[in-house]
Amino acid sequence: MSDSFGPATLALGSAMSAFTTMLPKITDIRKANPEKNPEFAADVRMAEIAAVTVAVGFGAIVSSLSGSAAPLVVVAIMCVILLSLYETTLRADRPLEIRRSESV
């Protein structure tokens, strides 16, 4: 099992690199309003598809070369986590921002 930590870490790093390279910063996504700019949301979703494809492809290659399924499993888990983070941020209207009541 410890023999697969190196390849799994390599695949994890490539997944993070694919997402940070292909997608805009999470702060830019948080500040954007996808209702007023649907093209931005479409661009983010296309970049998500590209990043997942690159990450899973690299994970499959590393799994094939190492003979262990661990790199592919780690990449799949990381892609689910990153996709849920980006989608939650994209769908929310300024998440984690304190809003003051307008009636005050």
Rounded Cα gap, residues 27 and 30, in angstroms: 5
pLDDT at 81: 94
Would 42 be classed as within a structural domain?
Answer: yes
The per-residue pLDDT for 44 is 92
DSSP at 33: -
Predicted confidence at residue 96, as pLDDT, reads 61
Residues in the chain where the model's pLDDT stays below 50: 104
Does the pTM surpass 0.85? The reply is: no
- Give 71-85 pLDDT, tens digit per residue: 999 999 999 999 999
The pLDDT of residue 36 is 83
Residue 102 forms part of a structural domain: no
Examine residue 61 and state whether it is found in any structural domain, yes or no: yes
Tokens of 8: 């799994």
Whether 104 is covered by a domain: the verdict is no
- Integer Cα distance of 8 and 75 in angstroms: 8
Q: 48 in a domain, yes or no? A: yes
Task: Flag whether 26 is in a domain.
Answer: yes
Block residue for tokens 């695949």: 11
Query: In total, how many domains does the chain have?
Result: 1
Which domain, by its residues, includes 74? 2-91
Answer whether residue 17 is part of any domain: yes
